[in-house]
Amino acid sequence: MSRAFFLAGTDTGVGKTLIAAALLRAAAAQGLRALGMKPVAAGSAEDVDALVAASNVQAPRNCVNPYLLREPLSPHIAARHDGIVVDLDRIARCFGELRERADFLIVEGAGGFRVPLSETHDGGDLAARLGLPVILVVGLRLGCLNHALLTADAIRARGLRLAGWVANQVDAMMACVEENVDTLRARIDAPLLGFVPHQAAPAAARIAALLELPS
């Protein structure tokens, strides 16, 4: 059975794609068939391209990214503007096909964990529909403690397992970084998979060495 995880963020712009790609590269370095999936992308295919580049398994693009929405908006709004509805069952069928190809699969969510995907479902519903443990990317910046703890609570409220979290310093000038990470370690009942210091030109291949694969 392949290992698969839903990768969520405490907010948008916290480095989910960077961390997802780094985990895929770390898995590939261990000899695993690693594959990334971005079910919903809005405004750009850049995140999808990064996951494809980090994967060492080929898969149909329309399964890796079932929904590419034109505008960089909340997915439910972007989808409405495109005249479509994000269908969790379609995503689940694509996920099933990808899982057969990989030993290690990362499904990257859009925005934060609870971002609406349609008028009735959000990212948490997608993670629950796929039945996946969650990796949480915490963007280290002012306000991250509240965002991280609320998101961890939301993950558990869906009956999902928090497999681990990654501390990614997105604000180069953030004060008391170590103290913030220590605070989260004391309050999040899940392993810290890695701390990624701020980097002017981050590269998934380098960051892979800073991360542990979740179990």
Q: DSSP per residue over the chain, as a string?
A: --EEEEEEESSTTS-HHHHHHHHHHHHHHTT--EEEE-SEEES-SHHHHHHHHH-SS---HHHH-SEEESSSS-HHHHHHHHT----HHHHHHHHHHHHTT-SEEEEEEEEETT-BSSSS-BHHHHHHHHT--EEEEEEESTTHHHHHHHHHHHHHHTT--EEEEEEEE--TT-S-HHHHHHHHHHH-SS-EEEEE---SS--HHHHGGG-----
State residue 2's pLDDT score.
83
| Cβ neighbours around 145 below 10 Å, total | 15
Which pLDDT score, from 0 to 100, does residue 107 have?
98
Half-sphere exposure of residue 6, counting CA atoms within 13 Å on the CB side? 28
Model pTM score = 0.96
pLDDT of residue 1: 61
Please provide the size of the chain in residues: 215
Residue ranges of the chain whose pLDDT lies below 50: none
- Residue 185's pLDDT is 97
pLDDT in the model for residue 143: 96
pLDDT tens-digit series, residues 98-126: 999 999 999 999 999 999 999 999 999 99
CATH of segment(s) 3-210: 3.40.50.300
Please give the C-alpha separations between residue 51 and each of 32, 57, 120, 133, in angstroms, as whole numbers: 15, 11, 27, 19
**Which pairing describes strands 134-140 and 162-169: parallel, antiparallel, or unpaired?**
parallel
Residue whose token pair is 């309050």? 187
Return the active site residues: 38
Could you tell me the CA-to-CA distances from 135 to 6, 13, 60, 62 in Å, in that order? Answer: 6, 16, 24, 24
Angstrom CA distances, 179 to 86, 162, 174, 182, stand at 40, 22, 11, 5
